[in-house]
Protein backbone atom coordinates (compact mmCIF):
# COMPACT_ATOMS: atom_id res chain seq x y z
CA UNK A 1 0.00 0.00 0.00
CA UNK A 2 1.38 3.41 -0.90
CA UNK A 3 2.29 5.72 1.96
CA UNK A 4 0.78 9.15 2.56
CA UNK A 5 3.80 10.92 1.09
CA UNK A 6 3.57 9.08 -2.24
CA UNK A 7 -0.19 9.51 -2.39
CA UNK A 8 0.16 13.24 -1.82
CA UNK A 9 2.79 13.49 -4.55
CA UNK A 10 0.73 11.63 -7.13
CA UNK A 11 -2.23 13.89 -6.36
CA UNK A 12 -0.45 17.22 -6.75
CA UNK A 13 2.13 16.32 -9.44
CA UNK A 14 -0.14 17.23 -12.40
CA UNK A 15 -0.61 20.67 -10.89
CA UNK A 16 3.10 21.09 -10.27
CA UNK A 17 4.14 20.15 -13.79
CA UNK A 18 1.28 22.12 -15.30
CA UNK A 19 2.46 25.23 -13.47
CA UNK A 20 6.04 24.53 -14.54
CA UNK A 21 5.00 24.41 -18.19
CA UNK A 22 3.11 27.70 -17.85
CA UNK A 23 6.11 29.59 -16.47
CA UNK A 24 8.73 27.76 -18.58
CA UNK A 25 9.06 30.61 -21.15
CA UNK A 26 10.54 32.72 -18.34
CA UNK A 27 13.33 30.25 -17.53
CA UNK A 28 15.65 28.93 -20.23
CA UNK A 29 16.44 25.55 -18.67
CA UNK A 30 12.84 24.90 -17.76
CA UNK A 31 11.73 25.90 -21.25
CA UNK A 32 14.24 23.47 -22.74
CA UNK A 33 13.04 20.69 -20.44
CA UNK A 34 9.38 21.13 -21.43
CA UNK A 35 9.84 21.90 -25.14
CA UNK A 36 12.01 18.82 -25.71
CA UNK A 37 9.07 16.70 -24.60
CA UNK A 38 6.66 18.06 -27.20
CA UNK A 39 5.48 15.25 -29.50
CA UNK A 40 7.40 12.75 -27.36
CA UNK A 41 4.66 10.14 -27.30
CA UNK A 42 3.85 10.39 -31.00
CA UNK A 43 7.48 9.79 -31.95
CA UNK A 44 7.95 7.02 -29.40
CA UNK A 45 4.77 5.24 -30.44
CA UNK A 46 5.97 5.09 -34.03
CA UNK A 47 9.26 3.55 -32.90
CA UNK A 48 7.73 1.02 -30.53
CA UNK A 49 5.15 -0.09 -33.11
CA UNK A 50 7.99 -1.04 -35.45
CA UNK A 51 9.81 -2.98 -32.71
CA UNK A 52 9.52 -6.75 -32.92
CA UNK A 53 7.84 -8.50 -30.04
CA UNK A 54 10.16 -10.31 -27.65
CA UNK A 55 9.75 -12.45 -24.56
CA UNK A 56 11.38 -9.86 -22.30
CA UNK A 57 11.44 -6.08 -22.33
CA UNK A 58 13.95 -4.23 -20.16
CA UNK A 59 13.47 -0.50 -19.60
CA UNK A 60 16.58 1.30 -18.35
CA UNK A 61 16.33 4.82 -16.95
CA UNK A 62 19.31 7.10 -16.37
CA UNK A 63 19.41 10.74 -15.35
CA UNK A 64 22.27 11.52 -17.73
CA UNK A 65 25.21 9.99 -19.56
CA UNK A 66 27.21 9.11 -16.42
CA UNK A 67 24.41 6.98 -15.03
CA UNK A 68 23.83 5.39 -18.42
CA UNK A 69 27.49 4.34 -18.55
CA UNK A 70 26.84 2.45 -15.32
CA UNK A 71 24.03 0.57 -17.05
CA UNK A 72 25.97 -0.12 -20.20
CA UNK A 73 27.93 -3.20 -19.06
CA UNK A 74 24.71 -4.77 -17.76
CA UNK A 75 22.99 -4.13 -21.09
CA UNK A 76 25.95 -5.59 -22.96
CA UNK A 77 26.05 -8.68 -20.75
CA UNK A 78 22.34 -9.33 -21.19
CA UNK A 79 22.40 -8.84 -24.95
CA UNK A 80 25.39 -11.13 -25.31
CA UNK A 81 23.51 -14.00 -23.66
CA UNK A 82 20.03 -13.05 -24.81
CA UNK A 83 20.25 -11.15 -28.12
CA UNK A 84 16.48 -11.25 -28.61
CA UNK A 85 15.51 -9.17 -25.58
CA UNK A 86 14.23 -5.63 -26.15
CA UNK A 87 15.95 -2.69 -24.46
CA UNK A 88 14.42 0.75 -23.98
CA UNK A 89 16.51 3.62 -22.60
CA UNK A 90 15.15 6.85 -21.15
CA UNK A 91 17.00 9.97 -20.03
CA UNK A 92 16.00 12.94 -17.94
CA UNK A 93 18.66 15.35 -19.21
CA UNK A 94 19.07 16.68 -22.73
CA UNK A 95 22.86 16.22 -22.47
CA UNK A 96 22.45 12.52 -21.68
CA UNK A 97 19.95 11.99 -24.46
CA UNK A 98 22.02 13.85 -27.05
CA UNK A 99 25.16 11.94 -26.12
CA UNK A 100 23.53 8.51 -26.41
CA UNK A 101 20.47 8.98 -28.66
CA UNK A 102 22.10 6.79 -31.32
CA UNK A 103 22.91 3.95 -28.92
CA UNK A 104 22.59 0.89 -31.13
CA UNK A 105 21.78 -1.48 -28.30
CA UNK A 106 18.33 0.01 -27.65
CA UNK A 107 15.11 -0.32 -29.59
CA UNK A 108 14.28 3.23 -28.50
CA UNK A 109 16.12 6.04 -26.69
CA UNK A 110 13.84 8.81 -25.43
CA UNK A 111 13.29 11.60 -22.93
CA UNK A 112 11.37 10.58 -19.82
CA UNK A 113 7.97 12.33 -19.95
CA UNK A 114 7.07 14.71 -17.13
CA UNK A 115 6.09 12.72 -14.06
CA UNK A 116 2.29 12.86 -14.00
CA UNK A 117 0.05 9.81 -13.43
CA UNK A 118 -1.40 10.12 -16.96
CA UNK A 119 2.01 10.31 -18.64
CA UNK A 120 3.37 7.44 -16.58
CA UNK A 121 0.40 5.19 -17.33
CA UNK A 122 0.60 5.99 -21.05
CA UNK A 123 4.33 5.31 -21.21
CA UNK A 124 4.14 2.00 -19.35
CA UNK A 125 1.22 0.87 -21.53
CA UNK A 126 3.33 1.66 -24.57
CA UNK A 127 6.57 0.02 -23.48
CA UNK A 128 5.02 -2.95 -21.64
CA UNK A 129 8.22 -3.52 -19.67
CA UNK A 130 8.89 -6.73 -17.83
CA UNK A 131 11.51 -4.90 -15.78
CA UNK A 132 12.55 -1.33 -15.03
CA UNK A 133 16.18 -0.86 -14.02
CA UNK A 134 16.81 2.58 -12.57
CA UNK A 135 20.42 3.66 -12.30
CA UNK A 136 21.72 5.26 -9.12
CA UNK A 137 19.00 7.89 -8.50
CA UNK A 138 16.44 10.09 -10.34
CA UNK A 139 13.32 8.74 -8.73
CA UNK A 140 10.07 9.78 -10.42
CA UNK A 141 7.29 8.26 -8.31
CA UNK A 142 4.44 8.21 -10.84
CA UNK A 143 6.56 6.29 -13.36
CA UNK A 144 7.76 3.88 -10.70
CA UNK A 145 4.21 3.31 -9.45
CA UNK A 146 2.85 2.79 -12.97
CA UNK A 147 5.56 0.26 -13.76
CA UNK A 148 4.99 -1.55 -10.46
CA UNK A 149 1.21 -1.70 -10.96
CA UNK A 150 1.70 -3.07 -14.48
CA UNK A 151 3.50 -6.08 -13.05
CA UNK A 152 7.02 -5.02 -14.00
CA UNK A 153 9.85 -5.86 -11.62
CA UNK A 154 11.85 -2.88 -10.34
CA UNK A 155 15.61 -2.84 -9.78
CA UNK A 156 17.63 0.03 -8.35
CA UNK A 157 21.26 -0.42 -9.41
CA UNK A 158 24.49 1.37 -8.42
CA UNK A 159 22.60 2.84 -5.47
CA UNK A 160 24.27 5.20 -3.01
CA UNK A 161 23.10 7.06 0.09
CA UNK A 162 25.48 9.94 0.78
CA UNK A 163 25.28 11.24 4.35
CA UNK A 164 24.61 14.84 3.29
CA UNK A 165 21.88 13.91 0.81
CA UNK A 166 18.20 14.88 0.93
CA UNK A 167 17.17 11.28 1.62
CA UNK A 168 17.89 11.74 5.32
CA UNK A 169 16.02 15.02 5.67
CA UNK A 170 13.43 14.37 8.43
CA UNK A 171 10.70 15.95 6.30
CA UNK A 172 11.48 13.72 3.30
CA UNK A 173 12.60 10.48 4.91
CA UNK A 174 9.11 8.98 4.97
CA UNK A 175 8.61 9.81 1.32
CA UNK A 176 11.80 8.03 0.35
CA UNK A 177 11.03 5.07 2.59
CA UNK A 178 7.78 4.57 0.67
CA UNK A 179 9.54 5.09 -2.65
CA UNK A 180 12.41 2.69 -1.95
CA UNK A 181 9.92 0.01 -0.91
CA UNK A 182 8.68 -0.14 -4.52
CA UNK A 183 11.91 -1.80 -5.66
CA UNK A 184 12.15 -5.57 -5.71
CA UNK A 185 15.95 -5.40 -5.51
CA UNK A 186 18.34 -2.62 -4.52
CA UNK A 187 21.97 -3.17 -5.53
CA UNK A 188 24.35 -0.80 -3.75
CA UNK A 189 27.93 0.10 -4.53
CA UNK A 190 29.19 -0.49 -0.98
CA UNK A 191 28.36 -2.27 2.27
CA UNK A 192 27.94 1.13 3.92
CA UNK A 193 25.14 1.98 1.50
CA UNK A 194 23.52 -1.42 2.04
CA UNK A 195 23.43 -0.88 5.79
CA UNK A 196 21.94 2.59 5.30
CA UNK A 197 19.13 1.23 3.13
CA UNK A 198 18.43 -1.60 5.55
CA UNK A 199 18.84 0.16 8.89
CA UNK A 200 17.48 3.61 8.09
CA UNK A 201 14.82 2.84 5.48
CA UNK A 202 13.90 -0.76 6.29
CA UNK A 203 14.90 -1.98 2.82
CA UNK A 204 15.79 -5.60 3.51
CA UNK A 205 15.96 -6.20 -0.27
CA UNK A 206 19.18 -4.15 -0.44
CA UNK A 207 22.45 -5.97 -1.06
CA UNK A 208 25.96 -4.98 -2.04
CA UNK A 209 26.90 -5.55 -5.67
CA UNK A 210 29.57 -2.93 -6.27
CA UNK A 211 29.82 -0.23 -8.89
CA UNK A 212 29.33 -1.23 -12.53
CA UNK A 213 31.56 1.68 -13.55
CA UNK A 214 34.53 -0.50 -12.65
CA UNK A 215 33.30 -3.13 -15.08
CA UNK A 216 32.66 -0.48 -17.72
CA UNK A 217 36.12 1.09 -17.56
CA UNK A 218 37.67 -2.38 -17.54
CA UNK A 219 35.75 -3.31 -20.71
CA UNK A 220 36.60 -0.01 -22.40
CA UNK A 221 40.28 -0.43 -21.58
CA UNK A 222 40.40 -3.21 -24.17
CA UNK A 223 39.72 -0.68 -26.93
CA UNK A 224 42.49 1.43 -28.41
CA UNK A 225 41.52 1.91 -32.05
CA UNK A 226 40.96 5.65 -31.67
CA UNK A 227 44.56 6.25 -30.57
CA UNK A 228 46.31 3.60 -32.67
CA UNK A 229 47.88 6.27 -34.90
CA UNK A 230 49.27 8.11 -31.86
CA UNK A 231 50.81 5.19 -29.97
CA UNK A 232 53.92 4.87 -32.18
CA UNK A 233 54.72 8.54 -31.59
CA UNK A 234 54.99 8.01 -27.83
CA UNK A 235 56.66 4.62 -27.75
CA UNK A 236 59.34 4.39 -25.03
CA UNK A 237 58.48 7.85 -23.73
CA UNK A 238 57.14 8.98 -20.36
CA UNK A 239 53.80 10.60 -21.09
CA UNK A 240 51.61 12.85 -18.95
CA UNK A 241 47.94 12.77 -19.95
CA UNK A 242 45.99 15.77 -18.65
CA UNK A 243 42.33 14.87 -19.09
CA UNK A 244 39.11 16.88 -18.73
CA UNK A 245 41.02 20.03 -17.81
CA UNK A 246 39.55 23.42 -17.03
CA UNK A 247 41.37 26.75 -17.14
CA UNK A 248 42.58 26.57 -13.53
CA UNK A 249 43.88 23.03 -14.06
CA UNK A 250 45.78 24.15 -17.15
CA UNK A 251 47.28 27.18 -15.42
CA UNK A 252 48.71 25.10 -12.59
CA UNK A 253 49.66 22.17 -14.79
CA UNK A 254 51.52 24.16 -17.43
CA UNK A 255 53.30 26.17 -14.75
CA UNK A 256 54.50 23.02 -12.98
CA UNK A 257 55.34 21.20 -16.21
CA UNK A 258 57.53 24.05 -17.45
CA UNK A 259 59.48 24.05 -14.18
CA UNK A 260 60.39 20.36 -14.42
CA UNK A 261 64.00 19.59 -15.28
CA UNK A 262 62.97 16.28 -16.80
CA UNK A 263 59.70 16.90 -18.62
CA UNK A 264 57.38 14.14 -19.77
CA UNK A 265 55.64 14.38 -23.11
CA UNK A 266 52.37 16.19 -22.51
CA UNK A 267 48.95 15.53 -24.02
CA UNK A 268 46.25 18.06 -23.10
CA UNK A 269 42.59 17.07 -23.29
CA UNK A 270 40.39 20.02 -22.30
CA UNK A 271 36.95 19.36 -20.85
CA UNK A 272 35.37 21.50 -23.57
CA UNK A 273 36.55 21.46 -27.20
CA UNK A 274 34.32 24.22 -28.54
CA UNK A 275 36.08 26.85 -30.69
CA UNK A 276 36.11 29.51 -27.97
CA UNK A 277 37.77 27.29 -25.39
CA UNK A 278 40.28 25.89 -27.87
CA UNK A 279 41.24 29.40 -28.92
CA UNK A 280 41.77 30.36 -25.28
CA UNK A 281 43.91 27.30 -24.57
CA UNK A 282 46.04 27.71 -27.68
CA UNK A 283 46.53 31.39 -26.88
CA UNK A 284 47.69 30.43 -23.37
CA UNK A 285 50.22 27.95 -24.80
CA UNK A 286 51.48 30.61 -27.19
CA UNK A 287 51.90 33.15 -24.41
CA UNK A 288 54.02 30.61 -22.53
CA UNK A 289 56.10 29.92 -25.66
CA UNK A 290 55.09 26.25 -25.58
CA UNK A 291 55.11 24.64 -29.04
CA UNK A 292 51.98 22.60 -29.67
CA UNK A 293 49.96 20.82 -32.32
CA UNK A 294 46.25 20.03 -32.56
CA UNK A 295 45.28 16.42 -33.10
CA UNK A 296 42.81 17.53 -35.79
CA UNK A 297 45.69 18.94 -37.85
CA UNK A 298 48.52 16.61 -36.89
CA UNK A 299 51.42 16.54 -39.34
CA UNK A 300 54.11 13.94 -39.89
CA UNK A 301 56.69 16.39 -38.54
CA UNK A 302 55.07 16.36 -35.07
CA UNK A 303 57.67 15.82 -32.33
CA UNK A 304 56.28 14.72 -28.92
CA UNK A 305 59.60 15.63 -27.32
CA UNK A 306 59.28 19.26 -28.37
CA UNK A 307 55.53 19.80 -28.81
CA UNK A 308 52.46 19.44 -26.62
CA UNK A 309 49.63 17.56 -28.28
CA UNK A 310 46.27 19.31 -27.84
CA UNK A 311 43.18 17.16 -28.31
CA UNK A 312 40.57 19.36 -29.97
CA UNK A 313 38.13 16.56 -30.87
CA UNK A 314 35.87 14.38 -28.74
CA UNK A 315 36.15 10.63 -28.19
CA UNK A 316 39.86 10.35 -27.41
CA UNK A 317 40.28 10.60 -23.66
CA UNK A 318 39.40 7.14 -22.31
CA UNK A 319 41.72 5.43 -24.78
CA UNK A 320 44.45 8.07 -24.52
CA UNK A 321 45.20 7.00 -20.97
CA UNK A 322 46.53 3.74 -22.45
CA UNK A 323 49.45 5.78 -23.79
CA UNK A 324 50.08 7.51 -20.48
CA UNK A 325 52.62 7.05 -17.72
CA UNK A 326 51.02 9.60 -15.38
CA UNK A 327 47.51 11.06 -15.41
CA UNK A 328 46.21 14.41 -14.25
CA UNK A 329 42.40 14.56 -14.05
CA UNK A 330 40.77 17.98 -14.14
CA UNK A 331 37.80 19.41 -12.31
CA UNK A 332 39.33 19.24 -8.83
CA UNK A 333 39.70 23.01 -8.69
CA UNK A 334 36.09 23.49 -9.77
CA UNK A 335 32.90 21.69 -8.79
CA UNK A 336 34.36 18.18 -8.56
CA UNK A 337 37.05 16.02 -10.12
CA UNK A 338 36.11 14.17 -13.31
CA UNK A 339 36.46 10.43 -13.99
CA UNK A 340 39.47 9.02 -12.13
CA UNK A 341 38.74 5.38 -12.95
CA UNK A 342 39.48 5.80 -16.66
CA UNK A 343 43.22 6.38 -16.08
CA UNK A 344 43.47 4.12 -13.02
CA UNK A 345 42.42 1.04 -15.00
CA UNK A 346 45.62 1.31 -17.03
CA UNK A 347 47.80 1.05 -13.93
CA UNK A 348 49.17 4.60 -13.92
CA UNK A 349 49.26 7.05 -10.97
CA UNK A 350 46.54 9.69 -10.91
CA UNK A 351 46.76 13.32 -9.77
CA UNK A 352 43.88 15.73 -9.19
CA UNK A 353 42.83 18.84 -7.26
CA UNK A 354 41.31 19.15 -3.78
CA UNK A 355 37.61 19.11 -4.70
CA UNK A 356 37.00 15.40 -5.00
CA UNK A 357 34.81 14.54 -2.02
CA UNK A 358 31.73 13.86 -4.15
CA UNK A 359 33.69 11.06 -5.82
CA UNK A 360 34.09 8.16 -3.38
CA UNK A 361 36.32 6.31 -5.84
CA UNK A 362 38.71 9.27 -5.97
CA UNK A 363 39.00 9.29 -2.18
CA UNK A 364 39.54 5.53 -2.11
CA UNK A 365 42.20 5.78 -4.80
CA UNK A 366 44.11 8.21 -2.61
CA UNK A 367 43.72 5.95 0.43
CA UNK A 368 45.04 2.97 -1.56
CA UNK A 369 48.09 4.90 -2.79
CA UNK A 370 47.04 4.99 -6.44
CA UNK A 371 46.37 8.73 -6.52
CA UNK A 372 47.53 11.96 -4.93
CA UNK A 373 45.76 15.25 -4.28
CA UNK A 374 47.51 18.48 -5.29
CA UNK A 375 46.47 21.84 -3.90
CA UNK A 376 48.61 24.28 -5.85
CA UNK A 377 51.37 24.53 -8.42
CA UNK A 378 54.10 23.73 -5.89
CA UNK A 379 52.51 20.46 -4.75
CA UNK A 380 51.75 19.49 -8.34
CA UNK A 381 55.38 20.15 -9.26
CA UNK A 382 56.55 18.00 -6.34
CA UNK A 383 54.29 15.12 -7.35
CA UNK A 384 55.35 15.24 -10.99
CA UNK A 385 59.00 15.51 -10.02
CA UNK A 386 58.71 12.42 -7.79
CA UNK A 387 57.16 10.34 -10.56
CA UNK A 388 59.69 11.55 -13.12
CA UNK A 389 62.78 10.98 -10.98
CA UNK A 390 61.63 7.85 -9.15
CA UNK A 391 60.32 5.20 -11.57
CA UNK A 392 59.82 2.75 -8.69
CA UNK A 393 57.46 5.17 -6.92
CA UNK A 394 55.59 5.74 -10.16
CA UNK A 395 55.27 2.00 -10.77
CA UNK A 396 54.08 1.34 -7.22
CA UNK A 397 51.39 4.04 -7.39
CA UNK A 398 50.32 2.80 -10.80
CA UNK A 399 50.07 -0.79 -9.61
CA UNK A 400 47.91 0.35 -6.67
CA UNK A 401 45.62 2.25 -9.04
CA UNK A 402 45.26 -0.72 -11.38
CA UNK A 403 44.60 -3.15 -8.55
CA UNK A 404 42.00 -0.78 -7.08
CA UNK A 405 39.91 -1.03 -10.26
CA UNK A 406 40.41 -4.73 -10.94
CA UNK A 407 39.49 -5.76 -7.40
CA UNK A 408 36.16 -3.95 -7.67
CA UNK A 409 34.87 -5.48 -10.87
CA UNK A 410 31.97 -7.93 -10.72
CA UNK A 411 28.86 -5.81 -10.09
CA UNK A 412 27.64 -6.49 -13.61
CA UNK A 413 27.54 -10.23 -13.00
CA UNK A 414 25.52 -9.82 -9.79
CA UNK A 415 22.87 -7.60 -11.41
CA UNK A 416 22.75 -9.67 -14.59
CA UNK A 417 22.04 -12.84 -12.63
CA UNK A 418 19.03 -11.15 -11.06
CA UNK A 419 17.67 -10.04 -14.44
CA UNK A 420 18.24 -13.50 -15.89
CA UNK A 421 16.19 -15.02 -13.09
CA UNK A 422 13.16 -12.97 -14.13
CA UNK A 423 13.92 -13.44 -17.81
CA UNK A 424 13.88 -17.22 -17.41
CA UNK A 425 10.51 -17.02 -15.69
CA UNK A 426 9.10 -14.89 -18.54
CA UNK A 427 10.23 -17.19 -21.34
CA UNK A 428 7.62 -19.64 -22.65
CA UNK A 429 8.04 -23.19 -21.43
pLDDT in tens, the chain (429 residues): 467 888 888 889 888 888 888 888 888 888 788 888 888 999 999 999 999 888 899 999 999 988 999 999 999 999 999 999 999 999 999 888 988 999 999 999 999 999 999 999 999 999 999 999 999 999 999 999 999 999 999 999 999 998 888 999 998 899 999 999 999 999 999 999 999 999 999 999 999 999 999 998 988 888 888 999 999 999 999 999 999 999 999 999 999 999 999 999 999 999 999 999 999 999 999 999 999 999 999 999 999 999 999 999 988 999 999 999 999 999 999 989 999 999 999 999 999 999 998 888 999 999 999 999 999 999 999 999 999 999 999 999 999 999 999 999 999 999 999 999 999 888 765
Contact present, 383 and 373 (Cβ < 8 Å):
no
Return the sign of the alpha-carbon dihedral for residues 100, 105, 110, 115: negative
Q: Can you list the alpha helix ranges (DSSP code H) found in 307-390?
A: 317-320, 341-344, 360-368, 377-389
Pairwise CA distance, residues 245 & 259, whole Å: 19
Report the C-alpha dihedral over residues 318, 319, 325, 328, rounded to 10 degrees: -20
User: For the purposes of burial, counting CB atoms within 10 Å of the CB of 20, is it exposed (0-12), middle (13-18) or buried (19 or more)?
Assistant: middle
pTM for this entry: 0.80
Element (H, E) at 293: strand 292-294
The C-alpha angle with vertex 336 and arms to 333 and 341, in degrees rounded to 5, equals: 110
For residue 1, the model assigns a pLDDT of 42
DSSP 3-state assignment of 223?
coil
Pairwise CA distance, residues 160 & 156, whole Å: 10
Half-sphere exposure of 391 (CA within 13 A, CB side): 5
CA distances (Å), origin 133, targets 64, 139, 185, 276, 411: 14, 11, 10, 39, 14
Q: Which of 372, 367, 373 is nearest to 355 (CA)?
A: 373
Taking each helix axis as running N to C, give the angle between helix 117-127 and helix 141-149, from 0 to 180 degrees, rounded to the nearest 10.
50
For residue 30, the model assigns a pLDDT of 81
For residue 429, the model assigns a pLDDT of 55
DSSP 3-state assignment of 137?
coil
Q: Which of 115, 157, 151, 153 is nearest to 134 (CA)?
A: 157
User: For the purposes of burial, counting CB atoms within 10 Å of the CB of 370, is it exposed (0-12), middle (13-18) or buried (19 or more)?
Assistant: buried
Pairwise CA distance, residues 219 & 73, whole Å: 8
User: For the purposes of burial, counting CB atoms within 10 Å of the CB of 297, is it exposed (0-12), middle (13-18) or buried (19 or more)?
Assistant: exposed
Beta bridge partners of 350: 327, 371
For residue 428, the model assigns a pLDDT of 66
Beta bridge partners of 245: 270
Report the C-alpha dihedral over residues 382, 383, 384, 389, rounded to 10 degrees: 80
Amino acid sequence: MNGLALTTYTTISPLLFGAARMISPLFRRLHTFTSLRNNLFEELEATVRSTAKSSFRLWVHAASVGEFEQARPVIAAMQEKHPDITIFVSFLSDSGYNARKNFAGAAAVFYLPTDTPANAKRLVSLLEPDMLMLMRYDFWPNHLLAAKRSGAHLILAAAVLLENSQYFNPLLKGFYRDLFSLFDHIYTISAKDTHAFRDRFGCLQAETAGDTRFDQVFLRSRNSGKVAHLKPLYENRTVLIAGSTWQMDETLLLGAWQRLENRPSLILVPHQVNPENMERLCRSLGERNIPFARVSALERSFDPKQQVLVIDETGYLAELYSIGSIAYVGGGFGVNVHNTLEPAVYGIPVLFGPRHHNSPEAEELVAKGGAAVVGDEASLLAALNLFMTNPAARAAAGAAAGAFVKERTGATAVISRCIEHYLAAAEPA
